[in-house]
Amino acid sequence: MTEIESAAQPGQEESARRLLKRAGRVGRIARVFRFALLSIVDSFLWAVALAVASYARFGFDWSEVNVGGLVIVALVAIDVHLVVGGFVGLYTGRRRLASFEETGWVAVASASGAVAALVVAELPAGGNLVPLSAILAAGAYQVIGALAARYLGRTLLEWRFPHRANRRRLLVFGAGEAGYQTVRALQRDSEADTVAVALLDDDPMKAHLRMQRLRVVGGRNDIAAAAERFGADALLIAMPSVSHEVIVDVADRAQAAGLTVQVLPRLSQIVEHGVRVRDIRDITLADFLSRPEVHLDLDQIAAYLHGKRVLVTGAGGSIGSQLCETIRTFGPERVFMLDHSENNLHRLCLRLDGTAAEDSPDVLLADIRDREALREIFDRLRPQVVFHAAAHKHVPFLELHPAEGVKTNVFGTLNVLGVAAEFGVERFVNISTDKAADPVNVLGMTKRIAERVTAHVATQAPGVFLSVRFGNVLGSDGSVIPTFREQLLQGRAMTVTHEDVTRYFMTIPEAVHLVLQAGAIGCDGDVLVLEMGEPVKIVDLARRLAAELKPGIPPRITFTGLRPGEKLHEVLFSANDTTVDKPHEALWRCRVPPLDPIELDGAGSVAEMSGLLERTRSHGVTSTAMRSHMASSVEGNGR
């Protein structure tokens, strides 16, 4: 931390304290103002109601009215009403203004005042201060007046910023409870930058329904017309339990109409605390993935992470950094973060702690290709759980530079596995890819070999060694999403290899959560395959991202053709995989043939691959030659 930052912090804290004090004073003033205003209104209404009722009772002849008695009865009714009202929270902010709950308590307070007035008026010493019929009528007048005043006050409060500049105009799709809570939350939040202008719902029973002064003006077929009619900028899908197909269809229609699409949190969150303005968010590509919410067994995960020393290789990458962040929530003794890139580690430290803590003993700058460096680290730190996320993963780069893929994904993994077994690691999780299933490129082949040698070490070492296989991760470093986003922002055409190419996708948090769950339930030699849902067409992904960033503008897409080593469609299992069972709703368990890197004979042995690597430096061995040398190691002699 710099001296300037250190000097600034006390000033910032003092400013925060002053703001909190000011907010507290404002809150107290608001409560006092509410108490005073409503008390005055209710008292005034009692006085007027009794006077009018008495005046009418005597045929509108004021000379017949017992003014002294009227004053006494009014004071009694007012005092009792205010005492009861204060006790039930009418004047302290416990009841929302003009709500159904407050309406009932207003009636109770008025009835209490009326009963007290009747008792005083009938006392022997009272001498018929005010006619009983006038008191009963005055009680009714007072209730009506009090409720009318509160409704007027609530209306004024909700419309106190009707012409605020730069507020987005929002269509709300869904006129159910979530839609009602959303509209109410927006109307009550004076700082919201969005105003709801109309409702939409496919239910014909809700046609022309009014809710919070907004009317249902149609269904999904009327989105474009409603957007033009009301000058809307955005559409909120306020149906958290609706099917994925409905969300996709409504979002597509809204984006085609030039609207920004927003969504609410999952139903479980809304049930817990209701809809809040800050919960409303823009729809993302992850919302288009056809996959149910994954439920984790947090106790299982905590059991093998809590109080343990955990090491993550490739900690600075997309998956590795999310792993480090999530693992820390389970109370490990320490989390060691290993990466060969100091820039990645610098970003990771900023993300986790907000400081560039490169001097932390938990931050390890090392390359998994360096076995001796790994031995020194494992000997010194003695990790108990290892997540191996370090890898080269880009297909085109590895096709051009196959030796680099072998050195990191095969030999680097062998190094990490070897020292983990040597120093008695309790649990080792190798992170793989769906490209290891029936591999056709250098990346897939190297990761397939890594799965097989992990399965072999599982038969030799005392700990649990397993692999986790999943597909593309939305938004990860080097994935198609950042590429498409950059092309769109630069005004260029998005490049897609083939109009029919598909891939399996999941979000980074989904992938990490399931990796942790797999580490909890996996057994020696397992390859646990994440449930990826249905594969997604890349061209559809490109169009959705374009609709999200530039709604209403047709995207430009150029098809470049499949590159060397690319498949049209990925698979999750190889022909040689043995599917065992499904130990979790989102995880399949399968087995791969173990591969002993020492004893394996033939062109795929470590010695042969090492020799091939040497020849790449001087003779430019191609990825085709490298793949042919790795072929027997990929599936073994059984293929």
Per-residue pLDDT tens for 438-458?
A: 888 889 999 999 999 999 999
What are 345-368's pLDDT values in tens digits?
999 988 888 776 667 899 999 999
Highest average pLDDT, of 20-34, 149-163, 254-268, 460-474, comes from: 460-474
**Which of these three, 130, 153, 176, is where a domain ends?**
153
Could you tell me if 195 and 140 lie in one domain?
no
> Measuring CA to CA, how many Å separate 618 from each of 411, 606, 612, 613, 615?
20, 19, 10, 10, 5
The highest-confidence range among 42-51, 124-133, 480-489, by mean pLDDT, is 42-51
Average pLDDT over every residue of 229-237: 91
The reply to whether 177 and 307 lie within a common domain is no
Residue 163 lies in a domain: no
Q: What pLDDT shows up at residue 610?
A: 52
Kindly name the residue from 308, 435, 447, 567 that is annotated as catalytic. 435
- 139-153 average pLDDT score: 90
Assigned domain for 392 exists: yes
Q: What is the pLDDT of residue 637?
A: 41
Is 511 inside any structural domain? yes
CB neighbours of 560 closer than 8 A, spacing ≥ 6? 495, 496, 497
Task: Specify the number of domains making up the chain.
Answer: 3
- pLDDT surpasses 70 at 16: no
Q: What pLDDT does 415 receive?
A: 95
Predicted local confidence at residue 625, as pLDDT? 60
pLDDT of residue 26: 45
CB 63 within 8 A of CB 11: no
DSSP alpha helix (H) spans, 406-492: 413-422, 442-460, 480-489
pLDDT bucket at 617, cuts 50 / 70 / 90: very low
Q: Residues 382-395: what's their mean pLDDT? A: 95
Helix axes 298-305, 508-521, angle to 10 degrees: 70
pLDDT at 356: 66
Q: Report whether pLDDT(217) > 90.
A: yes
pLDDT band at 474 (very low <50, low <70, confident <90, very high): confident
For residues 154 and 484, the model is more confident at 484
- Whether 96 is in a domain gets the answer yes
526 membership: H or E segment, kind and range: strand 526-530
In 331-444 the beta strands, taken as DSSP E runs, fall at 334-339, 363-365, 385-388, 427-433
Q: Is 21 an active-site residue?
A: no
- Name the DSSP class of 78: H
In this prediction, residues 496-512 reach a mean pLDDT of 88
631: nearest Cα among 460, 496, 448 = 448
pLDDT-derived band of residue 466, with 50, 70 and 90 as boundaries? very high
Torsion-angle region of 60 (φ positive above 0: left; ψ -120 to 50: alpha; else: beta): left
Q: What is the pLDDT of residue 389?
A: 96
Inform me whether the pLDDT recorded for 1 exceeds 50: no
Is the pLDDT assigned to residue 266 strictly greater than 80? Answer: no
Work out the percent of the chain whose per-residue pLDDT is above 90.
40
- Does 241 lie in the same domain as 328? no
Per-residue model confidence (pLDDT) at position 12:
43
Do residue 214 and residue 71 come from a single domain?
Answer: no
* CA nearest neighbour of 497 among 443, 538, 546, 440: 538
| C-alpha torsion sign, points 481, 484, 490, 491 | negative
**Last residue in a domain, options 283, 314, 331:** 283
| Across 514-528, average pLDDT | 91
Instruction: Return the amino acid letter for 465.
Output: F
468 and 591 both lie in a single domain: yes
Who has greater pLDDT, 394 or 477?
394
Please provide residue 115's backbone torsions phi and psi, each rounded to the nearest 5 degrees.
-60, -45
Give the residue among 81, 67, 74, 80 at the shortest CA–CA distance from 48. 74
Averaged pLDDT score across all residues of the chain = 82
Name the pTM for this structure: 0.66
The verdict on residue 242 lying in a domain is yes
H helices present in 58-208, as ranges: 67-88, 100-122, 132-158, 177-188
Mark whether 439 and 579 lie in a shared domain.
yes
Q: What is the pLDDT of residue 159?
A: 60
Would you state the pLDDT for residue 355?
Answer: 74
Do 222 and 141 fall into the same domain?
no
The answer on 463 and 316 residing in a single domain is yes
Tell me which of 437 and 12 has the higher pLDDT: 437
Higher pLDDT, 354 or 630: 354
Asked if the structure places residue 328 within a domain, the reply is yes
- pLDDT tens for 326-344 read 999 999 999 999 999 999 9
Instruction: Find the domain containing 317 and state its range.
Output: 298-473+506-532+571-613
- 582-593 pLDDT, tens digit per residue, is 888 888 899 999
For residue 118, being part of any structural domain is answered with yes
Same domain, 43 and 144: yes
Which pLDDT belongs to residue 27? Answer: 46
Q: Render the burial of 274-295: b for 16+ CB within 10 Å, e for the rest.
A: ebeeebbeebbbebbbebeebe
Q: What is the CATH number of the domain that holds 388?
A: 3.40.50.720
> Do 460 and 354 belong together in one domain?
yes
Using the 3D structure, point to which of 87, 119, 153 is the last residue of a domain: 153
329/432 same-domain check: yes
Q: Specify if 217 maps to a domain.
A: yes
Residues 139 and 176 in one domain: no
Q: What is the mean pLDDT of residues 402-418?
A: 93
- For 60-90, write each residue's pLDDT tens digit: 888 888 898 899 999 999 999 999 998 888 8
